[in-house]
Structure 1
Amino acid sequence: MTLAELITQARETLNTSLAARQQEQDALMALRSDENLTEDAVAARVATRDAADAEVTRRQTALDQLVAEQVREEELTALAARTTPTGNRPPAYDRAARVGAEERTYRPDQDRRGSAFETDVAAAFIGDYEARDRLARHMQEERVERGDQLVRAAGTGAFAGLVVPQYLTDLYAPAAAARRPFADACRPHDLPPQGMTVNLSRITTATSTALQTENAAVSETDIDDTLMTINVQTNAGQQTLSRQAIERGSGVEPVVLDDLFRRYASTLDGTLLNQATNGLTNVATAVAYTDASPTVVEMYPKVLEGLAGVEAALLDQASGENIAVMHSRRWYWMQNAMSSTWPLISQPGITAQMSGVNLGTTYGSGVRGTLPNGTPVIVDNNIATNYGAGTNEDELYLVDRNECHLWEDPNAPMYIRAEQPKLASLGVLMVVYGYFAYTHARYAQARKIGGTGLVTPTFTGV
């Protein structure tokens, strides 16, 4: 077995250990929510979780050792190729070639616009072997620095997959994108390596207990489940560029690829929110807020009504990690309100007279703030703003984030394939794609606030 095969095997084993550790952590959190838990039970579960932690550490160490060994082997191979043993006297010190720290193949200090990388990609597809060698070195450098993310970036062909140097994507003004704030807040899972469905068993008929009359039959209800089938979906985009644009333009290819990445993220997130039948807007139970002159003070009780519905639906399955997901216009509207009233019950970390806390973070960076009852806020501009009869309403979602499940390929970032299907017209095709599956409906827990109270906001301080 080669070193590359051993590294691939070690990564797969590490992923399995990580999944097992997450299961142990989930089990521990579920146990802690049990009202009848004992210290011994918690200690036993913590010990099991810690054992899983140790296994992850052991697997990671083994992988790091293999990767380091592979890097060293490549360094020695390169060194052997650069030296030719002879019986001659060694050259003078100032005339001898020496090997030090090797620089990256594509460097921002030498090629800020990325033209060398673009030219090599195009040249490799018409048989330029030197360009292929440079791209191969670049891919090996990426595997060393980001190997855990690029296990399957390259396929069996010479250049089935290429990763654009990261510095190239930071030197221009990209088209704005809503990206994936809600998707990043969902409970993540690794997508199974095969199959186009994810199947879950859901108990639909529970057992029963009842007070027994002496000598009478004990209550019995046959437990039953229903198979929940979740489809694996493909998110993909492509762009065909002319060789003239790549070879004669400046920074064209990395700009296009980065824009495809942004559209990929936005499409994924928008699907989770808005897709017919399964999107959050279509599975959430409506909480109506109808008001011709809406105010933040009037809307806030609807938030509590929605959160109450989430917990009532989940009962002992509630994790307590509730989140509110809203459009940026709704978040700023809530911040604009001024009031002389405040909640009667204080919350941890919230000043009594405040109507929430703004954490001052940027869009897409996670939690933006908290509501007066401590619920974290996710701002996501993939939320539609054309609901209602006037096509000017948005919606505010309230969910237990651990019941918003998202399965993604563990080898993200997304794949890139550079091909040349139209040789006669000098075309270069770039494709970005990935597989995912999701569900918010394992339990009917999600709530959404909608209605005329959520029309385009006016910032009047109320």
Structure 2
Amino acid sequence: MTLADLIAQARTALSTAITARQQEQDALMALRSDPNLTEEAVTARVATRDAADAEVTRRQEALDQLLAEQAREEEIAALAARSAPAATRAPAYDQVHRVGQEERTYRPDQDRRGAGFQGDVLGAFMGDYEAQARLARHMQEERTERGNQLRAVGTGAFAGLVIPQYLTEMYAPLARANRPFADACRPHTLPAQGMTVEISRVTTGSSVDNQAAENDAASETNMDDTALSVPVRTAAGQQTASRQSIERGAGVENVILDDLFRAYGSRLDNTLLNAATVGLTNVATAVAYTDATPTTAELYPKVIEGLSGVEAALLDQASGDNLAIMHSRRWYWMQNAMGSSYPLITQPGVVAQTLGANYAEAYGRGVRGILPNGTPVIVDNNIATNLGAGTNEDEIYLVDRQECHLWEDPDAPVYIRAEQAKAANLGVLLVVYGYYAFTFQRQPHARKIAGTGLITPTFTGA
């Protein structure tokens, strides 16, 4: 049996003695709470407890003796290693590091676990000059004693120690179009109940006319309205993740939710623009721009024509808070145009010699710039680019912001984390959903520029 085995047995015996002593102490405390307690019973129990206490002391002393013996054996082994004969051939005179009676920098007999060496490695990395000096001295000592054993190795020799580092905080999310136009619409709070929003639209108004003669009846036309029914829509998405991926992964649940939230925004915005019948592309009146070789200079008058139509449709309900919504490829194509002519009528905030201004805002951060007449531009890549006969056209929408209505729940989108539904598969179901409603038809007015002039742009400076 080895010394290590004896120490292990001594530790077990000490643990057993401590447990027995604690049991005796608990029994003594229980006896003292007995109302029928006698002095003889207490004396007997105290004696039993003291005997157990003495056994703990005896076992502790035995363990200490074994540990001291082990420490001495390790000292003897370290001394033997330092005084062992040199290798078959001693190092050359000029390769010897002569330290006289100095001890090694790191001594295993004083620090068996190498804590001092590890601490100096960390300290050297943090800029501790003294730690760096000790490490350098240690390496010189190693070269002196074991120079013929040291070899240069690469990271491939330590495949289990040189581990790859995953920069989880720098994960690349899926790029999405998100909701630039939706964020620019006039916001409303969605009512708490109902799946339809009803709006009254006056379709026949009163009449006023000049009185033909005194005492003649005033002009009268009976007003009439038509209900505009706006459906409440539900956008939802889900992702089932294994419990292992969530509990053993790094930020997996947050990555999934971020993607679901942005997918929700993209779907909502895409619906506003492209939904059948009620999407902006389907309610807007078209302004045709047909040209096989389009230029920005030719497109701009079409923009003015569209804005003219917006105001003509709204009359005294026009707020003047107009927007131009276009795809990013169209916005950059307009910026690439060069020319010597400029508008004859200047506009507030626009240099006369330019065709508008770019605000240099990032995508989805609001207004990207203004057109020559001061109309703000919203860039939205949910606008389709496969329109027209050649399936390569996009569109430009011109609207009054105050008549682009969007109702949303203030808490949307809502997040559901369901564990029971997939419990048998160790899965966690993550669901994101929200209710919303929208309309551009409270006051029909929207215009869109469409046609072959809006084919895939070529950036020629024209």
If the TM-score is normalised by the length of the shorter chain, which range does it land in?
Answer: 0.5 to 0.7
What's 1:239 paired with?
239
SS state of the match for residue 415, structure 1? strand
The aligned residue for residue 164 of structure 2 is none
- Aligned position for 1:312: 312
Please give the alpha-carbon distance, in whole angstroms, between the structure 1 residues aligned to 2:339 and 2:360: 21
Q: Distance in 2 between matches of 1:414 and 1:298?
A: 46
Deviation readout 1:363-388 (Å, 9 max, x if unpaired): 00000000000000000000000000
Alignment deviations for residues 128-149 of structure 1 (CA, whole Å, 9 cap, x no partner): xxxxxxxxxxxxxxxxxxxxxx
Task: Give 1:179's aligned residue.
Answer: 178
- Which residue of structure 2 lines up, in the alignment, with residue 278 of structure 1? 278
Taking a change above 3 Å as real, the CA distance of residues 263 and 348 of structure 1, as seen in their structure-2 partners, is same
Gaps of 5+ in 1: 1-167
> Number of residues paired by the alignment?
295
Q: Residue 356 of structure 1: CA displacement?
A: 0.4
Secondary structure of residue in 2 paired with 1:421: helix
Residue 218 (structure 2) pairs with residue 218 (structure 1): yes
Q: Deviations over 1:200-251 (max 9, x none)?
A: 1110000001111114332110001111111100010001111122223222
SS in 1 for 2:419: strand
Q: Specify the SS of the correspondent of 1:281.
A: helix
Q: Which residue of 1 aligns with 2:352?
A: 352
What amino acid is aligned across from residue 399 of structure 2 in structure 1? V
Structure 1 Cα separation of the partners of residues 281 and 441 of structure 2: 11
Residue type of the alignment partner of 1:201 = S
Secondary structure of the 2:416 match is strand
Q: Name the structure, 1 or 2, with higher relative contact order (CA <8 Å, separation 6+).
A: 1
Paired residue for 2:262? 262
Structure 2 CA distance, aligned partners of 1:407 and 1:431? 21
Tell whether the 8 Å contact from 1:261 to 1:414 is kept in structure 2 after alignment.
no
Paired letter, 2:287: V
- For 1:298 and 1:382, the matched residues in 2 are separated by 25
Deviation, 1:170, is 6.4
Q: 1:397-412 counterparts in 2 under 5 A?
A: 397-412=397-412
**Offset of residue 413 of structure 1:** 4.8
**SS, match of residue 234 in structure 1:** strand
User: Which residue does 1:383 correspond to in 2?
Assistant: 383
Q: Partners of 1:183 and 1:172 in 2: how far apart?
A: 27
CA deviations 1:338-359 (Å, max 9, x no partner) are 0111000000010000100000
Say whether the 8 Å CA contact 2:283–2:446 is kept in structure 1: yes
User: CA 1:333 to 1:315, structure 2 compared with 1: closer, same or farther past 3 Å?
Assistant: same
**Aligned twin of 1:196:** 195
Identity of aligned residues (%): 72
Runs of at least 5 residues in structure 2 that lack an aligned partner in the other structure: 1-166
Which amino acid counterpart does residue 237 of structure 1 have in structure 2? G
1:183–1:406: 8 Å Cα contact kept in structure 2? yes
Q: Does the CA contact (< 8 Å) of 1:235 and 1:268 recur in 2?
A: yes
Match of 1:76 in 2: none
Question: Secondary structure, in 3 states, of the residue corresponding to 2:287?
Answer: strand
SS at match of 2:420: strand
Per the normalisation by structure 1, the TM-score is 0.63
Q: TM-score, normalised by structure 2?
A: 0.63
- Which structure 2 residues correspond to residues 320-399 of structure 1 after superposition, within 5 A? 320-399=320-399
Aligned 8 A contact 1:369 1:376 in 2: yes
What letter corresponds to residue 183 of structure 1 in structure 2? A
Q: In angstroms, what is the RMSD of aligned CA positions?
A: 1.4
Letter in 1 for 2:315: L
Q: Distance in 2 between matches of 1:235 and 1:209?
A: 47
SS in 1 for 2:428: strand
> Residue 289 of structure 2 contacts residue 299 of structure 2 at CA under 8 Å; is this kept in 1?
yes
Amino acid at match of 2:232: V
Give runs of aligned pairs for residues 41-60 of structure 1, distance below 5 A: none
Aligned residue type for 2:412 = A
Deviation at 1:169, TM superposition (A): 10
In structure 1, the partner of 2:456 is 456
